[in-house]
């Protein structure tokens, strides 16, 4: 027993890893971050949601599409059949909702195929995980698609299945895109890097390019955030706070209701409010 305790105490703590999802979770709700990444109880509370299922299906289909050669070797019908073979009903509230999403997915992918034919860039990676050791922590991110253009520059592309429109300013301000840009600049030091958000619902996209100054400021922010996050452990006490734009749809709502002693919770089929 004594040896086991000594071995446990002598183990080095695992280095903190940060990703856009972890960063955004922490910034939106520190308690949700603790539940998910420190206490690791998400599996007991997670409920499938249609938008998660829908987005994941589109991402998997596009990943397979590019692995098989993209538009040069795959027709739009083949892309759609690939998506159909990966389709799952998890998270949809009714057969009608599922049918509407399936029809939308077919439309989005048909449009995507048409756009990709005329794009003229070479896709070099899909669902690529980039990882950089930042010293006190590891910064990582999984990128939907990386293209190399004829002028040699690298384009990071992020699919958004829920968006209809996107602007250059929104791309530049997006935390995840900033992290991807920072990672790509580290891993492709001699390459120009641009970042693009592709709105699958409309086929619209916007592209931006971070300056060295912007990336330097972002790195400082992430390092400060990493130092703060590193202090959150199993013994950290974080009181639940009601956030009307987040709590009604959070998997941990019932836990926070109990822990926070919240009263007068009103629940409907599409919204929960704290009266």
Which of 206-240 are b and which e, b meaning 16 or more Cβ less than 10 Å from the residue's Cβ? bbbebeeeebeebbeebbebbeebeebeeeeeeeb
Residues 144, 212, single domain; the answer is yes
Q: Which residue has the higher pLDDT, 175 or 11?
A: 175
The mean pLDDT value of the chain amounts to 91
Residue that finishes a domain, picked among 66, 97, 117: 117
Cα–Cα distance for residue pair 79/180, rounded to 1 Å: 27
Q: Contact 129/141 with Cβ under 8 angstroms?
A: yes
Q: List the beta strands (DSSP E) in the chain.
A: 16-18, 122-133, 137-148, 154-160, 193-199, 204-208, 265-267, 272-274
CA 214 from centre of chain: 21
Task: Please tell me the total count of domains within the chain.
Answer: 2
Q: Percentage of residues in the chain with pLDDT exceeding 90?
A: 84
Asked if residue 87 is part of any domain, the answer here is yes
Which DSSP category does 247 fall into?
Answer: G
- Regarding whether 88 and 153 lie in a shared domain, the answer is no
> Is the residue at 170 inside a domain?
yes
Last residue of a domain, one of 62, 93, 117: 117
Domain stops at, among 117, 138, 157:
117
φ/ψ bin of 55: left (φ > 0), alpha (ψ from -120 to 50), beta (otherwise): alpha
State which residues form the domain around 76.
50-117
For residue range 87-142, list pLDDT tens digits in order.
999 999 999 999 999 999 999 999 999 988 767 789 999 999 999 999 999 999 99
CATH number at residue 174: 3.90.320.10
145 located within any domain: yes
The verdict on pTM exceeding 0.85 is yes
Residue 235 domain flag: no
pLDDT digits (tens, 9 = 90+) for 142-155: 999 999 999 999 99
Contact at 8 Å (CB) between 18 and 223?
A: no
């Amino acid at each position: 027993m004594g040896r086991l305790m000594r071995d446990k105490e002598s183990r080095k703590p695992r280095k903190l890893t940060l990703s856009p999802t972890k960063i955004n979770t922490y910034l939106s709700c520190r308690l949700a971050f603790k539940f998910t990444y420190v206490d690791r109880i998400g599996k007991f509370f997670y409920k499938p949601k249609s938008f998660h299922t829908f987005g994941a299906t589109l991402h998997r289909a596009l990943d397979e599409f590019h692995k098989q050669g993209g538009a040069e070797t795959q027709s739009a019908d083949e892309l759609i059949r690939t998506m159909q073979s990966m389709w799952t009903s998890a998270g949809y509230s009714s057969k009608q909702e599922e049918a509407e999403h399936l029809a939308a997915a077919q439309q989005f992918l048909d449009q995507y195929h048409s756009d990709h034919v005329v794009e003229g860039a070479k896709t070099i990676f899909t669902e690529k995980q980039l990882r950089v050791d930042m010293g006190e922590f590891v910064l990582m991110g999984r990128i939907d698609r990386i293209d190399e253009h004829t002028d040699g520059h690298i384009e990071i592309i992020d699919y958004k299945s829920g968006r209809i429109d996107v602007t250059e300013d929104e791309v530049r301000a997006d935390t995840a895109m900033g992290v991807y840009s920072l990672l790509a600049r580290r891993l492709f030091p001699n390459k120009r890097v641009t970042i693009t958000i592709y709105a699958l619902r409309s086929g619209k996209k916007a592209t931006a390019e971070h300056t060295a100054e912007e990336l330097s400021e972002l790195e400082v922010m992430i390092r400060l955030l990493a130092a703060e996050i590193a202090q959150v452990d199993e013994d950290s006490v974080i009181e639940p706070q009601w956030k009307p734009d987040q709590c009604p749809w959070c998997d941990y709502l019932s836990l926070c209701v109990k822990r926070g002693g919240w009263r007068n919770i009103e629940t409907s089929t599409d919204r929960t409010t704290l009266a």
